[in-house]
Structure 1
Amino acid sequence: MLLLADSGSTKTDWRLIDKSGECLVSLKSKGLNPYFLAADEIKKELRNKVLDKVSDVGKVIFYGAGCGHPSKAAELAGVLDELFPAQVPAEVNGDILGAARSLLQGETGIACILGTGANSCLYDGKDIIGSVPSLGFILGDYGSGTVLCRDLIRELLQGNLGDDLREEFFREYELSQRMILDKIYNQPQANRFLASFTPFLLKNASNPVIHSIIYKNFRQFFEYYILPYRKSHKSDPLVFTGSIAYHFAVHLKTVAEEFGESIQKIEQRPMDGLVDYHCQTLANY
């Protein structure tokens, strides 16, 4: 049987699929980004949330944020092979390849992720043939939940959102300025902490300052993550997955139109498409 995983920085979707394509187990764990979690932390999460709920695993195929670099993919593959002894070694890929295979299957196109992080790629129907450096939320990730909410917090703490919205935020999240700064600068996984404010951002999207944050970020996303591909692939379809793309679809489509783009598909999660993509090889597991 095939154990299939799709992991962002916030959460991981798992499916155990039998040879007929039937899903026997569906569960979630926290995100397993190897840039943010050490091997021991990943093992602990897998033992607590996944290991005792699956059996007879023939192969693990894992798509994950932070797994695009070969060294990080190898680290995670070693953990998976240790905990899930299978007929063949675990296969670990970056989350952007998972997004492309899910959304485009065997067709060419430009696949994008807008969730806790941001990424994009040019896909030929099987593999990635072009990409731009993602760089993470400090240097890039325009339009991601982390960067949108980083900008939100900056405007909030600088006093640019108005007293009413500022008070609403602190009341809703039971935080102080000191606590926020400690979480960002002194605690692990600041990206997940920042992205947790996405519901507040969405609820108040009509506020002029927040509206500006959203549209500025999405424009930067298109300029950095989309336009470079258009020099040589002018008509390839454009598709998105991720919680930000899904919940902010109206705003994202508006910005796309500004760039002369039409978004063919927006899916909240890539797992269903990944199951479809791998069904053709399930007999091998």
Structure 2
Amino acid sequence: MRIFDPHIHMTSRTTDDYEAMHAAGVRAVVEPSFWLGQPRTSPASFLDYFDSLLGWEPFRAAQHGIAHHCALALNPKEANDPRCVPVLDELPRYLVKDQVVAVGEIGYDSMTPAEDVALARQLQLAADHGLPALVHTPHRDKLAGLRRTLDVVRESALPEDRVLIDHLNETTVKEAADSGCWLGFSVYPDTKMDERRTVELLRAHGTDRLLVNSAADWGRSDPLKTRGVGDLMLGEGFTEDDVDRVLWRNPVAFYGLSGRLNLEPASADATDPGATHQGNSVLRGGE
């Protein structure tokens, strides 16, 4: 089983996770921009973070045979902080980088006017740079959030078939599917979707334009949930081709819209035990 996790926050994960992911079949990931966990105090904090998504994380992933790409953005939660908003002026010089395959994650957290502005502006940036967009739907008032999201997408210059609407569930999947956008399901241990609910939605809605991700971060999450969905699909009568479509070919097709997707790990030399990135490695002491 080959797996492409289209939404995972590897900055918050350990080397052990990379090893376990590779053993489970993960060969490619996209890491979208995420909030820090505590308030950022300036755009400079984003720039160091963006640089790590373009350098250190692809190196770390390549050490375990995993191709790493990223999506860059001002995320919805931090769009409400005036100290963070100026990073929108810095994004264009990052969105031209080869390993950036989307603008994201953007969308809504609390559905504020500030989030309206950030979403519209970043959809325009995606259109300007020929990139697709990964859109986060809010954890509260999900149907209202989806409808508000789709209104902004339809008003933008970015076509619906270049937008992935993520964190969908049973209440939002039909309207999202009817919109022409791609569909994303985040599978968590005890929130959002679980494996069985995801498989039931696959049975009801088919496998076209549908992506499954772990969205794993520093909270209670599991980077192997994609494999769990694949195993359950097979156990519930889906074919190996169905599983490959959902867990590999669909994310390849969506992020391939960027024209930048490279499914080879970042560096052929990264698996050398002595390899470093800008002089740094995860090795310590006498390792």
TM-score if structure 1 supplies the norm length? Answer: 0.30
> For the pair shown, which has the larger CA radius of gyration, 1 or 2?
1
Q: Which has the higher helix share?
A: 1
Q: Which has the higher strand share?
A: 1
